[in-house]
A and B are shown apart, each in its own frame.
Chain A
Amino acid sequence: MAEIRTAPLVVEFPFTRSLGPVQSAFLTGLRERTVLGVRAGDGRVIVPPAEYDPVTAEEIRDLVEVGSAGTVTTWAWNPAPRRGQPLATPFAWVLVRLDGADTALLHALDVPGPESVHTGLRVRIRWAAERTGAITDIACFTPYDGPGSGAEPAAHSGEFADPVTGITTPARLDYTYAPGRAQSRYLRALAGRKTIGERCPSCRKVYVPPRGACPTCGIATDTQVEVGPRGTVTTYCIVNIKARNLDIEVPYVYAHIALDGAGLALHARIGGISYDEVRMGLRVEPVWTGDGTFPDHYRPTGEPDAPYDSYKELI
């Protein structure tokens, strides 16, 4: 079997989210070492608080202050912490019902081993040294031998100076991208400065780049066909805004190019000609630079323009 092509792929976003009034009060409260809950329609105190009643879905806004100590309602021992988790050493995941609350909050419990944890264990919050108004303002929980107060939680206005109204939560996922058979064949050929399309056995259309299936017939494209290297500009646009990390002077032209023998157009940059001279029907050829594994851009061949009828089905 041919070598499988793979490449690292990192997906990373700093998700920016606005907060509702209840979430805003809760997360601002954490910054101020105050834990707030919200009273639901059935009288239960929900911590962490929700904007809407979990039973009736009605808006709930009555905030109360609960304790920073509580009781473990269930736990799980994590022997191998993973990236992003609250503690870097083995810890217990816990659901904790804080004193005054009727529901439980998920977090980490810092204990030396699983023998130190049991359901019913009393724990309290260890606050993070730097707090910004986020669930991570709770660094983790630690065992606590004090009793619960048993007191009814007191009403709280939810008002703080400089309330947090949004959070930014960075998220990163790492992948190994594998393009599959058809695209691997295409990329391998491209590295050898050949452009390979694949033909549908039913409708005979040649797809470039091939994705492995004919979207009209729903079957595998099974024959490799060398196309180009020359082709025709079928349509184009003029790019006026410089893309980040892209060292190309603007304005430049990005075009759809129907390579000779291809059943549809691929897209690439046009160079070697002023942006205002590019036109539909322009004949172009690929330009390879250095040891590049794909064409850097396409440039005019100097041939006469292709007549419109020769490429109108490929626009």
Chain B
Amino acid sequence: MVEWKGAPGLSDEEITARKEHFRILVCIDGSDECYQSLQYAARLGGGVDADIVLLFVRPVDQGLRSGGLQVRVARENMLKWGLELPGIKYLKKGFDILGELGMMDGEDWSEHVVHTDVDGDPLGDNKTEYVNAKGKMVVLKLKVAPDIATGILEQWELGPYDLILFGTSGRWKGPVRSFWDPAVAQKIAIHAPCSVLVARDLDVGHGHLICTDGSDKAMEMVRRDGEMASHCDYPVSLISVALDVEAEDEAKANVDKAKKVLADMGIEVKETIVKVGNPVDEIIEAGPDYSLIVVAESGKTGLRRFFMGSVAYKVMGNAHNSVMIVR
């Protein structure tokens, strides 16, 4: 994970506090998938007492495409009519869901509204922060950015996040289409410096399927996800795929190694799977029985990830259900 160096306007204590907290960024776009991922984040956040930030990114209003008349003229006119910005309703709905799930119960929450001007936009960035006595935060943020993916990645710079969640429907575009115009989800998955969860029909009960290849990175990931899942009482299963029959023993050993690591942490493994074949296909096929496929990032940089494609990245793009890449 890339080291976060703090953001302007934060004191040293705030920076340390943010680094210590488990922080989850949930991207809200009004779709059903995004609210499913929010519910998941709430369970996860309840378990590890995390900060939850709800983010809606609105593309910046600019006039090159609108024939020379800035879109802000239309936007200002809408505000004069007393109309809300797109996104506010979606964020409010997300906040209500958190309330229903009991995330906002208990101690006194203090409310804090912050506005930041953004050049060229009549409204700029707006956020509402709710902080409780224990320092746990829930934030609603409406952000303006040149495009949605950039906005989400910029948000990471403002406060480190351990996990970015976003909903998406369907599979991603192929390499040719993405050369032209990569999908938002794809762009974030490539460039985000932290773990990323892509939610597709995410339902909570079926546990995590952790993929391991026995490498140090994968073992580290097994430890981290095992901890996260056990906090929320999610069952954990393990899968390892051998490329051919000879390597099957090695795959078995990998699974056993991971199982032992988890057992040492006091976590029981529900089932273990060993398959032979193409790792991407086998993992995708085994996936739908679980809430979430968990894969480790093989540590390539953004561009190499894009060109070569790791197993993790391919699984994320093509799976039928939700996938989390742990970094």
A and B assemble together: no
B residues in contact (CB < 8 Å) with A: none
A residues in contact (CB < 8 Å) with B: none
